[in-house]
């Protein structure tokens, strides 16, 4: 008879973070964190799914996705160029 060993909590957290990565969950040691809600999560699947279906999470995830998209498309060079244009116009240079 074989005994099934329980995996360490950190392994479970890593597996859940990988599974729910698109929902903004990350592993930090043995803690599962929802990045967009800044919330430590319980490692129970039912509670994770319950959180992911809340209006707060959906709203925060939408905001985070928009911010990420903006930061990916708007480079530092673009920002610096735009800043120079604004300064030039506002200072009448």
pLDDT digits (tens, 9 = 90+) for 65-87: 666 645 555 555 666 677 677 77
In a domain, 1, yes or no: no
Q: What is the pTM of this model?
A: 0.61
Q: How many CB atoms are closer than 10 A to CB 13? A: 22
Task: Identify whether 2 is part of a domain.
Answer: no
Does any domain span residue 34?
A: yes
| Residue 75 belongs to a domain | yes
pLDDT-derived band of residue 4, with 50, 70 and 90 as boundaries? low
Residue 79 lies in a domain: yes
- Considering its fold, how many domains does the chain have in total? 1
Determine the Cα–Cα distance for residues 44 and 48; give it in Å rounded to an integer: 6
3 found inside a domain? no
25 domain-assigned:
yes
The answer to whether position 70 is within a domain reads: yes
DSSP class per residue in 7-21:
PPHHHHHHHHHHHTG
Residue range(s) defining the domain that contains residue 37: 9-90
């Amino acid at each position: 008879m074989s005994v099934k060993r329980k995996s360490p909590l950190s392994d479970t957290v890593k597996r859940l973070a990988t599974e729910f990565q698109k929902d903004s969950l990350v592993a930090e040691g043995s803690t599962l964190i929802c990045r967009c809600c800044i919330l430590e999560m319980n490692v129970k699947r039912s509670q994770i799914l319950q959180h992911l279906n809340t209006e707060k999470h959906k709203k925060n995830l939408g905001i985070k996705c928009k911010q990420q998209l903006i930061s990916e498309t708007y480079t530092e060079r673009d920002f610096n160029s735009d800043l120079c244009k604004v300064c030039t116009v506002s200072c009448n240079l």
